[in-house]
Amino acid sequence: MATETRGEPAAKDEGKGKPARKRTSPVLFVRQVVAELRKVIWPTRRELITYTTVSLVFVLIMVAIVSGLDWALQRGVFWLFG
């Protein structure tokens, strides 16, 4: 059956209500966010400039390709239909 998981019956939780979940307080949320941000490996200035340059060059190349295809298709449609 598609709803079954490994060795567990599909109707395991039928008839049971979900247990009440305790809400996270705003203070705890902020603490968790700060803890996660401390784990982030931030790029150096040189890496950031490199990543930005590569991204901009890629976008410019894609714009050129799409613009070229648009122009070529426009010319083709005008030639075909007058």
Judge contact between 4 and 10, C-beta under 8 A: yes
- Tell me which DSSP letter residue 41 carries: -
Q: What is the mean pLDDT of the chain?
A: 86
Residue 1 has pLDDT above 60, yes or no: no
What pLDDT is attached to residue 68?
A: 98
How far does CA 13 lie from the centroid of its chain?
A: 32
pLDDT at 5: 56
**pLDDT exceeds 70 at position 10:** no
pTM of the predicted model as reported, rounded to 2 decimal places? 0.54
21-48 pLDDT per residue, tens: 788 899 999 999 999 999 999 999 999 9
